[in-house]
């Protein structure tokens, strides 16, 4: 079999030769290095390789080229090699362009010139990209087709579920010509939304579990007993799954909806360690999910946990749709949900103009419209910045007098610099109205009521822990957050059912062998990085717990 190819394109002959020289020196035994000195030569070479059936592992393109810049080149090459890793070569002065390229072509990395010594600044980057390419699933699968109504809450839920689980699909309205044809093919009693799989199977108004199975997501555990069960697939849960599996524990992660949690909906996280140019929540969640799978963790999607009990040395988890699994230890990482706005009329339009969370699937539909966002924390600020790229105007509705107490400074600065974002302080939503979808909002600013035409309202207010299913078995504070470690002692002389031989570990609940990490834990810091750290720490404590059994 021919070697996979690394393509490098740079219009500076000296730089072009240097790149090819360094690549051949390190990777020449395993990869074929193809060098081009113009974008036109590069595209022609990529086209010829595609026709021959060659595999391209990575493409390195210089940003400043006269015929087309590096971003345009990578965008064109993506059409022929969508799985190739994309690296932009750029000077320090062009780093802004490189950051923009992350969004335009899903850039994998950018390299500053010069990169001497290559052992420190060049090879580690290329090693990581080639390793990622080797591990990627490069099979092209036909997209699903989804037919539905524009303002259907159920159609929105299907699209959101697919998008957040990184399942590509083609969306079309039922009144579109192609949509009409597909509905007619199913029959006059077709119930929307209609999902047609690559194999031609059609699903009418599918529930979440049926949809998950149809698109190949794992929903059934491979065994009935594990070392570790992680409940919740947000940053804390994914962190626990990665560290648990990498350290040899037979680990299963159970997620009711999609990996990433609330962080997975963030359009861009810019204060997470190791990502100086920012990373979208979806990208971060997808990388963490693939990393967990790489180490052998099992990920179950669309399975809702409804019970947790101790049976001897086992901790048993029960599912809403029946069945149970058990393990030596359990980590609770169920996170939090956004609180509902209690204004009259809004509940009628959830999924039809009113969205809790970022709802990134709706961004393109907001093109040239006015968007309203409720909230004053980072999640609301990130959504405002992202949606400002689509909407003609973004209204950020803040109940308090300012943003400084709840939002990071870098986001406050970004919002102030974007002309089509308007912040309304001391403002609350008091009502919503419309026919088949949201059309109007009634707002109150400093006691004065006003009405605005509005088709999109995104809500990011407060946080409620998902712990009601735990019943009375685990100690929680007055707001429902799980108590762990020292906090348990503060609420009572000794946790119920606690063995006399030791005190609870820092992240351990009142039930020995059950730990809590991330936003669901009382007094946790509500940040992505701290959640990942707690997930990792919980695994270390699980090891200690298991050693003492």
3-state SS assignment for residue 421: strand
Query: Two tokens at 487?
Result: 């906090």
The stretches of 448-509 forming alpha helices (DSSP H) are 486-491
3-state SS assignment for residue 528: helix
**Residue 326 · residue 315 · CB < 8 Å:** yes
3-state SS assignment for residue 122: coil
3-state SS assignment for residue 509: coil
Q: DSSP characters for 300-337?
A: EES--EEEEEEETTEEEEEETTS-EEEEEEEEE---EE
**Residue 441 · residue 447 · CB < 8 Å:** no
Determine whether 530 is exposed, middle or buried from the number of CB atoms within 10 Å of its CB (0-12, 13-18, 19+): middle
Q: 85 has which bridge partners?
A: 58
The 10 Å CB-count burial string (b at 16+, else e) for 196-231 is bbeeeebbebbebbebbbbbebbbebeeeebbbbbb
CA angle 501, 504, 510 (to 5 degrees): 105
Establish how many alpha carbons lie within 13 A of residue 469's alpha carbon, considering only the half-sphere containing its beta carbon. 17
CA distance 404 to 409: 7
Q: 329 has which bridge partners?
A: 228
SS (HEC) of 342-365 = CCCCCHHHECCCEEECCCHHHCHH
Rounded to 10°, the helix 235-246/281-294 angle is: 20
Please report, for residues 16, 70, 124, 138, 232, the alpha-carbon distance to residue 509 in angstroms, rounded to integers and kept in the order given: 58, 53, 41, 42, 16
pLDDT of residue 251: 98
CA angle 283, 107, 126 (to 5 degrees): 100
Q: Is the preceding peptide bond at 117 cis, omega within 30 degrees of 0?
A: yes
Cα 542 from chain centre: 26
pLDDT of residue 493: 46
Query: Two tokens at 200?
Result: 């031609």
Q: DSSP characters for 12-31?
A: SHHHHHHHHHHHHHHHTTTS
pLDDT of residue 154: 94
Q: What parts of the chain have a pLDDT lower than 70? A: 1, 92-95, 97-105, 139-142, 489-502
CA distance 475 to 487: 10
Q: End-to-end distance of the chain based on CA atoms, in angstroms? A: 52
E-assigned strands of 414-527? 421-424, 427-433, 440-445, 448-453, 456-459, 464-465, 514-516
């Amino acid at each position: 079999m021919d070697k996979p190819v690394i393509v490098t394109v740079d219009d500076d002959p000296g730089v072009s030769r240097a790149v090819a020289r360094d690549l051949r020196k390190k990777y020449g035994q395993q990869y074929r290095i193809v060098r081009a000195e113009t974008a036109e030569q590069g595209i022609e070479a990529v086209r010829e390789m595609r026709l021959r059936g060659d595999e391209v592992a990575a493409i390195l393109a210089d940003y400043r080229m006269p015929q087309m810049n590096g971003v345009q080149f990578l965008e064109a090459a993506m059409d022929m090699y969508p799985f190739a890793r994309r690296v932009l070569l750029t000077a320090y002065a062009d780093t802004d362009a490189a950051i923009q390229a992350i969004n335009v072509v899903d850039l994998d990395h950018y390299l500053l010139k010069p990169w001497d010594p290559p052992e420190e600044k060049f090879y580690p980057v290329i090693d990581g990209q080639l390793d990622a390419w080797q591990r990627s699933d490069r099979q092209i699968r036909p997209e699903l087709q989804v037919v539905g109504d524009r303002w259907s809450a159920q159609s929105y839920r299907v699209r959101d579920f697919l998008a957040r689980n990184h399942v590509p699909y083609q969306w079309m309205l039922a009144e579109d010509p192609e949509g009409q044809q597909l509905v007619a093919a199913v029959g006059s009693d077709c119930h929307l939304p209609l999902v047609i799989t690559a194999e031609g199977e059609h699903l009418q108004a599918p529930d979440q579990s049926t949809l998950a199975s149809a698109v190949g997501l794992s929903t059934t555990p491979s065994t009935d007993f594990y070392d570790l069960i992680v409940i919740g697939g947000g940053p804390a849960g994914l962190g626990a799954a990665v560290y648990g599996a990498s350290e040899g524990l037979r680990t299963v992660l159970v997620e009711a909806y999609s990996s990433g949690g609330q962080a997975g909906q963030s359009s861009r996280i810019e204060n997470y360690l190791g990502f100086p140019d920012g990373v979208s929540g979806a990208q971060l969640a997808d990388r963490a999910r693939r990393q967990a799978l790489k180490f052998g963790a099992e990920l179950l999607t669309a399975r809702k946990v409804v019970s947790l009990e101790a049976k001897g040395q086992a901790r048993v988890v029960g599912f809403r749709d029946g069945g149970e699994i058990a393990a030596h230890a359990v980590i609770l990482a169920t996170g939090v949900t956004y609180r509902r706005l209690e204004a009259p009329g809004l509940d009628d339009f959830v999924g039809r103009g009113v969205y809790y969370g970022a709802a990134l699937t709706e961004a393109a539909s907001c093109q040239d419209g006015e968007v309203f966002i409720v909230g004053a924390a980072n999640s609301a600020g990130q959504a405002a910045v992202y949606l400002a790229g689509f909407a003609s105007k973004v209204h950020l509705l803040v109940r308090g007098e300012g943003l400084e107490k709840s939002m990071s400074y870098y986001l406050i600065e970004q919002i102030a610099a974007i002309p089509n974002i308007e912040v309304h302080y001391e403002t609350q939503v008091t009502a919503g109205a419309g026919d088949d979808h949201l059309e109007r909002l009634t707002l109150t600013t400093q006691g004065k009521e006003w009405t605005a035409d509005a088709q999109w309202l995104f809500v990011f207010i407060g946080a409620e822990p998902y712990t009601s299913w735990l019943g009375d078995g685990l100690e929680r504070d007055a707001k429902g957050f799980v108590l762990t470690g020292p906090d348990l002692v503060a609420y009572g002389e000794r946790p119920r059912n606690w063995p006399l031989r030791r005190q609870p570990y820092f992240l351990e609940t009142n039930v020995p062998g059950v730990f809590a990490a991330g936003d669901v834990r009382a007094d946790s810091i509500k940040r992505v990085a701290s959640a990942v750290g707690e997930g990792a720490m919980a695994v270390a404590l699980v090891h200690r717990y298991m050693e003492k059994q």
